[in-house]
Structure 1
Amino acid sequence: MSGPKVSVALPCFNCAATLPAALDSLLAQTLGEIEILAVDDGSTDDTADVLRDYARRDGRVRPLTLPHGGIVPALNAALAAARAPLAARMDADDLCMPERLEVQARLLDERPELGLVGCRVRFGGDRAARGGYAHYVDWINGLTAPGDIYVNRFVESPFAHPSIVFRRELADRLGSYRAGPFPEDYELILRFLEAGVRMAKAEAELLVWNDPPERLSRNHPSYAVDAFYRLKTGFLARWLARNNPHHPDVLVLGAGRTTRKRADLLLEHGVNIVAYADIDPRKIGRAVNGRPVLHRDQLPPAGECFCLSYVGSRGARDDIAAFLRERGWKEGMDCLMVG
């Protein structure tokens, strides 16, 4: 073997209980030309012992050790040490299907226009207890084509982060993971998409995405809802400046207090909200901060303004998208779903 085809970035922090199963699933891949860059992020449990044991048994496991600094330094250390042209993500509490890396590497080989691919994932939590997370998994699993990923990227992150594989040169050219008061995975996806990187997903479920109580996205302030909105607002404002034919004017669907709070973040970036639209009769006909609240049936025809839907409640987003499509509005051209 001249060298690995895929380098797997696997951050590890106090994960001795789940790490063996994750490593076993990687070492059982049908694609054998891999290396596993397992970064021990200053663990205080038996994580280091587990990694040493696996490295003795299989040279594809390459442990790296850092003082505890969090996921971003761990991921960037893995990318800096990587030798393969493709970089894959994996978490120490998730599981890969045996064909995962082979399928994703083949997809990148066969479609050179793609820079990053994910896969559909299987929710590894309790659907009854964690209905919101399960609904999110269903949503991302419905986005496989580049166009669907492109127009929906301002709703939420369109990928389960541990499921992605990307061309490593992208990190060299566009920058690797960045630390800040935002989710590092979503920032990377938005930054790559902004740079024109095309993305898709394998149709198969190739990763079990578990949902343990200590999951970072459930506990760290960088993954709070407001952090997501602050992050995506900057990217959205730049997208609008390039693509909204009526820039800086937009019309916002949704006139509730939470919707307005999130949409108002655009004002800091020079975007002008000309009006809101809603279906709640208590809001219609009023003015909010000098902006009229219309009934959505009063929307001008497609092409006369650009519409952003900030309504994110379950089912409402699909209803609004269908409403706009029926009236000739095209996502990415006349409107976007952003909430």
Structure 2
Amino acid sequence: MHYPLVSIIVPFKNTANYLPECLDSILEQSYANFELIIVNDHSTDSSKAIVESYAKKDSRIFSYNTNGQGIIDALQFAYSKSKGTYVTRMDSDDIMVPNKLELMVTALQNTGNGHIALGQVSYFSKEGISNGYYSYEKWLNKLTRIGTNFSEIYKECVIPSPCWMVSRVDFDLCGGFNSNIYPEDYDLAFRFYQKKLKCIPCNQILHLWRDYDDRTSRTSKHYAENYFLDLKMSYFLKIDYHTDRNLVVWGAGKKGKQIAQKLIDQNISFNWICNNKKKIGKHIYGIEMQQFLLLNTLPNPQIIVTVANKDEQRFIRAFLHKLAFKAAEDYFFFC
């Protein structure tokens, strides 16, 4: 087996309580040919001292301070210092399982460029894991197990961050960390999708996600719901929307209204449907709400589904299936 260099990119800020466990999990990898590019994003705790103590003991660790501000600047700076044939990310509060790098490198070597190596993930927390996070973990791992992650990219981030690895060639093709759009991990997933990289199935847990109250994804405004929806709509209109088809929004709840407003703001015409008898015939933002049965007669529709209720989603999928509509081509679930 050939052992190409792997660049592990790690930004950190005030994670002193978790860094030793994270760094130990990296240094204990069964795959040894890696460089750890770790960048301090203005920490005010003992994080920097911890990293420097590890760097003195292991020549594979390269420690830097960023002159920028925030995780995106740190990622961009770290990548500029990297040299690996393969590229992956790591969060400074998470844990790698011992054979994570080995399995990912092997997967990429077996498939070649144009692919993303993935792993299943598992949350852990002293306080226990909420039903919402457990559901996300279960859903994401199901996609990863069969490599169909991109089929539901408009629901949530379908690339388990930071449990992915790609060749440097493919990473650069997708723009690397150059984008300044938040949430940065979801934006990167969309760029992988846009460049048609293929997900390599994986049936093993390779990464442990730590959850705690002041984790960045919980506290930063950059990970608020409106950022996610803006990102979804931007890439949908760029990648999958066809102007010669009849665009349809299914659902008039909070997300349906938000999407409708965004389409109106961009002067994009659409039909608005639902299966709620109380709303049919009413006008919202000047647009009449129509019955979902409109799809029986509307020529060549393309549907954004914004209904979150699981039972309703099953009904919608069954109805669209009867019409021979194809997922991720004719219809897209945004919830």
TM-score if structure 1 supplies the norm length? 0.89
Q: Counterpart amino acid of 2:282?
A: R
Q: Quote the Cα distance in structure 1 between the aligned partners of 2:167 and 2:267.
A: 34
CA distance in 2, matches of 1:211, 1:4: 32
Cα distance between partner residues in 2 of 1:162 and 1:308: 28
Matching of residue 328 in structure 1 with residue 329 in structure 2 = no
Aligned twin of 2:45: 45
Show the counterpart of 2:119: 119
**Judging changes above 3 Å, is the alpha-carbon distance between structure 1 residues 77 and 68 closer, same or farther for their aligned structure 2 residues?**
closer
2:248 is aligned with 1:251:
yes
C-alpha contact (below 8 Å) 2:123/2:129 kept by paired residues: no
Structure 1, unpaired ranges of 5+ = none
Match of 2:247, as an amino acid? Answer: V
Shift of 1:288: 3.0
Deviation at residue 95 of structure 1 after TM alignment: 0.6
Give CA deviations for 1:19-66 in whole Å, capped at 9, x if unaligned.
010011111111111111111222121112211211122212221122
Give yes or no for the alignment of 1:272 onto 2:269: yes
Q: How do 1:156-175 and structure 2 match up within 5 A?
A: 156-175=156-175
Note the C-alpha offset of 1:161: 1.3
CA contact (8 A) 2:37 2:62 kept: yes
Aligned to 1:89: 89
C-alpha contact (below 8 Å) 2:255/2:306 kept by paired residues:
no
Aligned to 1:281: 277
User: CA 1:319–1:139 in structure 2 vs 1: closer, same or farther (change >3 Å)?
Assistant: farther
Aligned-partner residue type, residue 255 of structure 1: A
Question: What SS is found at the alignment partner of 1:203?
Answer: coil
- Correspondence list, 1:204-283, <5 A: 204-241=204-241, 244=242, 246-247=244-245, 249-276=246-273, 278-283=274-279
Moved more, 169-178 or 101-110: 169-178
**TM-score (normalised: structure 2):** 0.90
Structure 1 residues 162 and 285, CA gap change in structure 2 (3 angstroms) = same
Letter in 1 for 2:123: F
Which residue is equivalent to 2:98?
Answer: 98
Q: 1:113 to 1:269 in 2, by over 3 A?
A: farther
Amino acid at match of 1:167: S
Task: Give the deviation of 1:235 after TM superposition.
Answer: 0.7
Q: Deviations over 1:144-198 (max 9, x none)?
A: 2787322211111102211121222234333232464621111111123112222
1:22/1:92 contact within 8 Å kept: yes
Residues 316/78 of structure 1: CA separation in 2 closer, same or farther (3 Å cut):
farther
> Is the 2:114–2:197 Cα contact (8 Å) retained in structure 1?
yes
CA distance in 2, matches of 1:315, 1:158: 22
Alignment match of 2:334 (pick from 310, 327, 338): 338
Q: State percent identity of aligned pairs.
A: 26
Alignment deviations for residues 104-146 of structure 1 (CA, whole Å, 9 cap, x no partner): 1111111125432221101113796622222212221121278
Query: Distance in 1 between the 2:297 and 2:144 partners?
Result: 30
Answer yes or no: is the 8 Å Cα contact 2:107–2:200 preserved in 1: no
Counterparts in 2 of 1:19-168, with a 5 A limit?
19-67=19-67, 69-125=69-125, 130-144=130-144, 148-168=148-168
* Preserved CA contact (<8 Å) 2:79 2:177: no
CA RMSD of aligned residues (A): 2.5
User: What SS does the corresponding residue of 1:331 show, helix, strand or coil?
Assistant: coil
Unaligned runs of 5+ in 2: none
Change (3 A) 1:281 1:302: closer
Please state whether the residue corresponding to 2:270 is helix, strand or coil. strand
The one-letter code matched in structure 1 to 2:324 is G
Q: Which moved more, 1:56-65 or 1:282-291?
A: 282-291
Matches of 1:268 and 1:285 in 2, distance apart?
22
CA drift at 1:304:
3.3
Relative to structure 1, the CA distance from residue 315 to residue 77 in structure 2 (aligned partners, 3 Å threshold; closer, same or farther) is: farther
Does structure 1 retain, via aligned residues, the 8 Å contact 2:87–2:171? no
Query: Structure 1 pair 289/12, CA: closer, same or farther in 2 (3 Å)?
Result: closer
Pair 1:33–1:315, CA change in 2 (3 A): farther
Give the match for residue 305 of structure 1.
Answer: 301
CA distance in 1, matches of 2:311, 2:62: 45
Contact 2:113 / 2:170 at 8 angstroms: preserved in 1? no
